Amino acid sequence: MTSQFPSTDDVILGPGDDAAVVAAPDGRTVATTDLLVEGRHFRREWSTARDVGHRAVAQNYADVVAMGARPTGLLIGFAAPADLPLAWAEEFTAGVREECALAGGAVVGGDMVGSDTLTIAVTALGDLEGRAPVRRDGARAGDVVAYTGHLGLSAAGLALLERGVDGPADCLSEHRRPSPPYAAGPEAAVLGATAMLDISDGLVQDLGHICRASGVRVDLESDALRPEPALLEAVRVLGAPAGNAVAAARRLMAVGGEDHALAAVFPPETGLPEHWHAVGVVAEAPRGSEEVPEHPVTLDGDVVERGGWDHFRRE
Protein backbone atom coordinates (compact mmCIF):
# COMPACT_ATOMS: atom_id res chain seq x y z
CA MET A 1 0.00 0.00 0.00
CA THR A 2 1.11 3.59 -0.41
CA SER A 3 2.79 5.69 2.24
CA GLN A 4 -0.01 8.28 2.41
CA PHE A 5 -1.24 6.80 5.70
CA PRO A 6 -0.13 8.75 8.78
CA SER A 7 2.34 7.03 11.06
CA THR A 8 1.95 6.57 14.81
CA ASP A 9 4.36 6.17 17.70
CA ASP A 10 3.97 2.38 17.31
CA VAL A 11 5.34 2.40 13.75
CA ILE A 12 9.13 2.40 13.71
CA LEU A 13 9.37 1.82 9.94
CA GLY A 14 6.30 2.23 7.75
CA PRO A 15 5.55 1.36 4.12
CA GLY A 16 8.37 1.52 1.57
CA ASP A 17 10.74 -1.32 2.54
CA ASP A 18 10.33 -5.09 2.18
CA ALA A 19 8.57 -5.14 5.54
CA ALA A 20 7.47 -2.71 8.22
CA VAL A 21 8.71 -2.53 11.79
CA VAL A 22 6.10 -2.05 14.51
CA ALA A 23 6.94 -1.51 18.16
CA ALA A 24 5.73 -4.05 20.70
CA PRO A 25 6.37 -2.35 24.06
CA ASP A 26 4.52 -5.09 25.92
CA GLY A 27 6.72 -7.80 24.41
CA ARG A 28 3.63 -9.52 23.00
CA THR A 29 1.59 -8.73 19.89
CA VAL A 30 -2.09 -9.47 19.38
CA ALA A 31 -2.67 -10.44 15.74
CA THR A 32 -5.80 -11.25 13.75
CA THR A 33 -6.74 -11.52 10.08
CA ASP A 34 -9.97 -11.35 8.12
CA LEU A 35 -11.27 -11.31 4.55
CA LEU A 36 -13.87 -9.21 2.77
CA VAL A 37 -15.08 -10.71 -0.49
CA GLU A 38 -17.36 -8.78 -2.83
CA GLY A 39 -20.76 -10.42 -3.06
CA ARG A 40 -20.18 -12.19 0.23
CA HIS A 41 -19.34 -9.45 2.71
CA PHE A 42 -20.25 -6.30 0.76
CA ARG A 43 -21.89 -5.19 -2.46
CA ARG A 44 -20.76 -2.17 -4.42
CA GLU A 45 -24.37 -1.29 -5.23
CA TRP A 46 -25.11 -1.06 -1.48
CA SER A 47 -21.88 0.34 -0.06
CA THR A 48 -19.49 3.01 -1.27
CA ALA A 49 -15.77 2.35 -1.49
CA ARG A 50 -15.30 4.56 1.55
CA ASP A 51 -17.85 2.44 3.45
CA VAL A 52 -15.87 -0.70 2.62
CA GLY A 53 -12.65 0.94 3.81
CA HIS A 54 -14.27 1.76 7.16
CA ARG A 55 -15.63 -1.78 7.45
CA ALA A 56 -12.27 -3.40 6.62
CA VAL A 57 -10.64 -1.62 9.55
CA ALA A 58 -13.55 -1.89 11.98
CA GLN A 59 -14.16 -5.62 11.77
CA ASN A 60 -10.48 -6.39 12.31
CA TYR A 61 -9.72 -3.88 15.05
CA ALA A 62 -12.88 -5.06 16.85
CA ASP A 63 -11.16 -8.44 17.25
CA VAL A 64 -8.02 -6.75 18.58
CA VAL A 65 -9.85 -4.75 21.26
CA ALA A 66 -11.90 -7.84 22.16
CA MET A 67 -8.64 -9.30 23.49
CA GLY A 68 -8.20 -6.19 25.65
CA ALA A 69 -5.52 -4.75 23.37
CA ARG A 70 -4.96 -1.35 21.79
CA PRO A 71 -4.80 -1.25 17.95
CA THR A 72 -1.35 -0.49 16.56
CA GLY A 73 -1.03 -1.55 12.92
CA LEU A 74 -2.73 -2.93 9.81
CA LEU A 75 -1.52 -4.86 6.76
CA ILE A 76 -3.91 -4.81 3.81
CA GLY A 77 -3.98 -7.15 0.82
CA PHE A 78 -6.00 -5.76 -2.11
CA ALA A 79 -7.01 -8.07 -4.97
CA ALA A 80 -9.06 -6.32 -7.64
CA PRO A 81 -10.45 -6.83 -11.17
CA ALA A 82 -8.61 -4.97 -13.92
CA ASP A 83 -11.68 -2.82 -14.62
CA LEU A 84 -12.03 -1.52 -11.05
CA PRO A 85 -11.99 2.28 -11.29
CA LEU A 86 -8.96 3.95 -9.71
CA ALA A 87 -11.36 6.29 -7.94
CA TRP A 88 -12.87 3.32 -6.10
CA ALA A 89 -9.47 2.31 -4.72
CA GLU A 90 -8.73 5.90 -3.72
CA GLU A 91 -12.06 6.20 -1.88
CA PHE A 92 -11.44 2.85 -0.17
CA THR A 93 -8.08 4.20 1.01
CA ALA A 94 -9.79 7.31 2.38
CA GLY A 95 -12.22 5.16 4.38
CA VAL A 96 -9.36 3.12 5.81
CA ARG A 97 -7.51 6.29 6.81
CA GLU A 98 -10.61 7.77 8.48
CA GLU A 99 -11.36 4.64 10.51
CA CYS A 100 -7.74 4.38 11.62
CA ALA A 101 -8.04 7.95 12.88
CA LEU A 102 -10.97 6.80 15.05
CA ALA A 103 -9.51 3.51 16.24
CA GLY A 104 -5.81 4.24 16.43
CA GLY A 105 -2.98 2.48 14.70
CA ALA A 106 -1.92 2.90 11.08
CA VAL A 107 -1.52 0.96 7.85
CA VAL A 108 2.07 -0.29 7.78
CA GLY A 109 2.08 -2.25 4.54
CA GLY A 110 0.29 -4.65 2.24
CA ASP A 111 0.10 -5.92 -1.32
CA MET A 112 -1.97 -5.50 -4.47
CA VAL A 113 -2.76 -8.07 -7.16
CA GLY A 114 -5.22 -8.62 -9.99
CA SER A 115 -8.22 -10.87 -9.31
CA ASP A 116 -11.57 -11.70 -10.90
CA THR A 117 -13.23 -11.05 -7.54
CA LEU A 118 -12.64 -7.92 -5.48
CA THR A 119 -11.13 -9.27 -2.26
CA ILE A 120 -9.61 -7.43 0.68
CA ALA A 121 -7.45 -9.21 3.26
CA VAL A 122 -6.58 -7.39 6.48
CA THR A 123 -4.17 -8.34 9.23
CA ALA A 124 -4.47 -6.24 12.38
CA LEU A 125 -2.01 -5.91 15.25
CA GLY A 126 -2.47 -4.73 18.82
CA ASP A 127 -0.58 -4.03 22.04
CA LEU A 128 -1.74 -5.47 25.39
CA GLU A 129 0.07 -2.71 27.32
CA GLY A 130 1.09 -5.09 30.09
CA ARG A 131 -2.36 -6.62 30.62
CA ALA A 132 -3.26 -10.28 30.32
CA PRO A 133 -5.24 -11.05 27.16
CA VAL A 134 -8.96 -11.48 27.78
CA ARG A 135 -9.71 -14.91 26.36
CA ARG A 136 -12.91 -16.87 25.85
CA ASP A 137 -12.24 -19.56 28.44
CA GLY A 138 -12.36 -17.58 31.70
CA ALA A 139 -16.12 -17.37 32.36
CA ARG A 140 -17.29 -18.88 35.66
CA ALA A 141 -20.71 -19.57 37.18
CA GLY A 142 -22.14 -16.45 38.80
CA ASP A 143 -20.37 -14.03 36.46
CA VAL A 144 -22.39 -11.28 34.78
CA VAL A 145 -22.76 -11.10 31.00
CA ALA A 146 -22.79 -7.59 29.51
CA TYR A 147 -22.42 -5.92 26.14
CA THR A 148 -21.52 -2.49 24.83
CA GLY A 149 -22.08 -1.04 21.38
CA HIS A 150 -25.02 -1.42 19.00
CA LEU A 151 -26.96 -4.68 18.75
CA GLY A 152 -29.37 -5.52 15.94
CA LEU A 153 -28.89 -2.39 13.84
CA SER A 154 -26.59 -4.03 11.29
CA ALA A 155 -28.88 -7.01 10.76
CA ALA A 156 -31.82 -4.64 10.36
CA GLY A 157 -29.79 -2.57 7.89
CA LEU A 158 -29.03 -5.63 5.79
CA ALA A 159 -32.71 -6.63 5.74
CA LEU A 160 -33.66 -3.08 4.67
CA LEU A 161 -31.10 -3.11 1.85
CA GLU A 162 -32.32 -6.51 0.65
CA ARG A 163 -35.83 -5.06 0.39
CA GLY A 164 -34.71 -1.84 -1.22
CA VAL A 165 -35.86 0.30 1.71
CA ASP A 166 -33.95 3.56 2.29
CA GLY A 167 -34.02 3.91 6.07
CA PRO A 168 -33.89 4.16 9.02
CA ALA A 169 -30.52 5.75 8.36
CA ASP A 170 -28.88 4.54 11.60
CA CYS A 171 -29.49 0.90 10.64
CA LEU A 172 -28.15 1.33 7.10
CA SER A 173 -25.13 3.22 8.41
CA GLU A 174 -24.31 0.60 11.04
CA HIS A 175 -24.40 -2.14 8.42
CA ARG A 176 -22.24 -0.23 5.96
CA ARG A 177 -19.82 1.23 8.52
CA PRO A 178 -19.81 -0.72 11.82
CA SER A 179 -18.86 1.38 14.84
CA PRO A 180 -17.08 -0.89 17.35
CA PRO A 181 -16.60 0.58 20.84
CA TYR A 182 -12.81 0.53 20.53
CA ALA A 183 -11.99 1.96 23.94
CA ALA A 184 -14.28 -0.50 25.72
CA GLY A 185 -12.05 -3.52 25.07
CA PRO A 186 -9.05 -2.31 27.06
CA GLU A 187 -11.51 -0.83 29.57
CA ALA A 188 -13.10 -4.26 30.15
CA ALA A 189 -9.67 -5.78 30.67
CA VAL A 190 -8.88 -3.19 33.35
CA LEU A 191 -12.28 -3.85 34.97
CA GLY A 192 -11.36 -7.53 35.31
CA ALA A 193 -13.38 -9.14 32.51
CA THR A 194 -12.99 -12.92 32.66
CA ALA A 195 -13.97 -13.50 29.01
CA MET A 196 -14.74 -11.29 26.03
CA LEU A 197 -15.33 -11.35 22.28
CA ASP A 198 -16.42 -9.29 19.32
CA ILE A 199 -20.06 -9.83 18.35
CA SER A 200 -19.72 -10.59 14.66
CA ASP A 201 -21.88 -13.71 14.35
CA GLY A 202 -24.74 -12.65 16.66
CA LEU A 203 -24.92 -12.30 20.45
CA VAL A 204 -26.30 -15.80 21.09
CA GLN A 205 -23.99 -17.52 18.64
CA ASP A 206 -20.89 -15.71 19.87
CA LEU A 207 -21.67 -16.22 23.56
CA GLY A 208 -21.88 -19.89 22.66
CA HIS A 209 -18.16 -19.72 21.86
CA ILE A 210 -17.47 -18.46 25.39
CA CYS A 211 -19.67 -21.22 26.85
CA ARG A 212 -17.86 -23.99 24.98
CA ALA A 213 -14.42 -22.61 25.80
CA SER A 214 -15.28 -22.07 29.48
CA GLY A 215 -17.45 -25.16 30.05
CA VAL A 216 -20.47 -23.13 31.17
CA ARG A 217 -23.87 -21.98 29.94
CA VAL A 218 -25.48 -18.53 29.80
CA ASP A 219 -29.05 -17.38 30.32
CA LEU A 220 -29.97 -14.01 28.85
CA GLU A 221 -32.89 -11.90 30.07
CA SER A 222 -35.10 -10.50 27.31
CA ASP A 223 -36.15 -7.51 29.45
CA ALA A 224 -32.50 -6.46 29.65
CA LEU A 225 -32.31 -6.16 25.84
CA ARG A 226 -33.45 -2.60 25.23
CA PRO A 227 -33.81 -1.82 21.50
CA GLU A 228 -32.68 1.52 20.16
CA PRO A 229 -35.37 3.69 18.54
CA ALA A 230 -33.92 3.15 15.05
CA LEU A 231 -34.16 -0.62 15.50
CA LEU A 232 -37.79 -0.41 16.60
CA GLU A 233 -38.56 1.75 13.59
CA ALA A 234 -36.77 -0.68 11.29
CA VAL A 235 -38.67 -3.77 12.45
CA ARG A 236 -41.95 -1.91 11.94
CA VAL A 237 -40.84 -0.95 8.41
CA LEU A 238 -39.93 -4.59 7.84
CA GLY A 239 -43.45 -5.68 8.77
CA ALA A 240 -43.49 -6.44 12.49
CA PRO A 241 -46.97 -5.76 13.96
CA ALA A 242 -47.04 -2.73 16.25
CA GLY A 243 -47.67 -4.91 19.28
CA ASN A 244 -44.72 -7.20 18.46
CA ALA A 245 -42.12 -4.61 17.50
CA VAL A 246 -40.18 -4.86 20.78
CA ALA A 247 -40.09 -8.67 20.61
CA ALA A 248 -38.94 -8.57 16.97
CA ALA A 249 -36.26 -6.02 17.81
CA ARG A 250 -35.01 -8.08 20.75
CA ARG A 251 -34.72 -11.11 18.50
CA LEU A 252 -32.49 -9.15 16.10
CA MET A 253 -30.42 -8.03 19.08
CA ALA A 254 -30.02 -11.67 20.12
CA VAL A 255 -29.28 -13.27 16.76
CA GLY A 256 -28.39 -10.52 14.29
CA GLY A 257 -24.82 -10.67 12.99
CA GLU A 258 -22.11 -8.18 12.03
CA ASP A 259 -22.76 -5.86 14.95
CA HIS A 260 -19.10 -5.67 16.02
CA ALA A 261 -20.22 -4.70 19.49
CA LEU A 262 -18.40 -6.33 22.43
CA ALA A 263 -19.75 -8.95 24.82
CA ALA A 264 -17.86 -9.58 28.05
CA VAL A 265 -18.22 -11.56 31.24
CA PHE A 266 -17.40 -9.91 34.58
CA PRO A 267 -17.21 -11.04 38.21
CA PRO A 268 -20.55 -10.28 39.88
CA GLU A 269 -19.11 -7.60 42.17
CA THR A 270 -17.77 -5.51 39.25
CA GLY A 271 -19.13 -1.98 39.02
CA LEU A 272 -19.91 -1.56 35.34
CA PRO A 273 -19.92 1.84 33.59
CA GLU A 274 -23.29 2.90 32.16
CA HIS A 275 -22.37 2.00 28.58
CA TRP A 276 -21.97 -1.65 29.59
CA HIS A 277 -25.42 -3.28 29.69
CA ALA A 278 -25.84 -6.37 31.89
CA VAL A 279 -28.05 -8.85 30.03
CA GLY A 280 -27.56 -12.23 31.69
CA VAL A 281 -25.65 -14.53 33.98
CA VAL A 282 -23.25 -17.43 33.64
CA ALA A 283 -24.36 -20.78 35.05
CA GLU A 284 -22.70 -24.14 35.52
CA ALA A 285 -23.10 -26.77 32.83
CA PRO A 286 -25.67 -29.46 33.79
CA ARG A 287 -24.42 -31.86 36.46
CA GLY A 288 -23.30 -35.20 35.16
CA SER A 289 -22.71 -33.78 31.70
CA GLU A 290 -19.22 -34.09 30.26
CA GLU A 291 -19.94 -31.55 27.54
CA VAL A 292 -21.56 -28.15 27.27
CA PRO A 293 -25.15 -28.57 26.00
CA GLU A 294 -25.82 -28.18 22.27
CA HIS A 295 -27.61 -24.88 22.95
CA PRO A 296 -25.61 -23.37 25.83
CA VAL A 297 -27.17 -19.90 25.54
CA THR A 298 -30.83 -19.45 26.42
CA LEU A 299 -33.17 -16.47 26.52
CA ASP A 300 -35.44 -16.42 29.58
CA GLY A 301 -34.61 -20.11 29.94
CA ASP A 302 -35.67 -21.01 26.39
CA VAL A 303 -33.50 -22.17 23.51
CA VAL A 304 -33.10 -19.51 20.82
CA GLU A 305 -33.52 -20.76 17.26
CA ARG A 306 -30.33 -20.67 15.24
CA GLY A 307 -29.51 -17.24 13.94
CA GLY A 308 -26.58 -14.91 13.41
CA TRP A 309 -24.07 -14.87 10.59
CA ASP A 310 -22.90 -18.11 8.97
CA HIS A 311 -19.68 -17.68 7.01
CA PHE A 312 -20.40 -20.77 4.86
CA ARG A 313 -24.11 -20.18 4.25
CA ARG A 314 -25.11 -20.54 0.63
CA GLU A 315 -26.55 -17.39 -0.91
298 is in an annotated binding site: no
18: annotated binding-site residue? yes
Q: Is 111 annotated as a binding residue?
A: yes
Is 97 annotated among the ligand-binding residues?
no
26 is in an annotated binding site: no
Q: Check the annotation: does 63 bind a ligand.
A: yes
HEC string for the chain: CCCCCCCCCCEEECECECCCEECCCCCCCEEEEEEEEECCCECCCCCCHHHHHHHHHHHHHHHHHCCCCEEEEEEEEEEECCCCCHHHHHHHHHHHHHHHHHHCCEEEEEEEEECCCCEEEEEEEEECCCCCCCCCCCCCCCCEEEEECCCCHHHHHHHHHHCCCCCCHHHHHHHHCCCCCCCHHHHHHHHCCCEEEEECCCHHHHHHHHHHHHCEEEEECHHHCCCCHHHHHHHHHCCCCHHHHHHHHHHHHHHCCCCCEEEEEECCCCCCCCCCEEEEEEEECCCCCCCCCCCCEEECCEECCCCCCCCCCCC
- Residue 7 in marked binding region: no
302 a known binding residue? no
Does 136 carry a binding-site annotation?
yes
Give the residue numbers of the binding site for ATP: 110-111, 136, 200
Give the residue numbers of the binding site for Mg(2+): 18, 32-34, 63, 111, 198, 201
Give the residue numbers of the binding site: 18, 32-34, 41, 63, 110-111, 136, 198, 200-201, 258, 309
Give the residue numbers of the binding site for substrate: 41, 258, 309
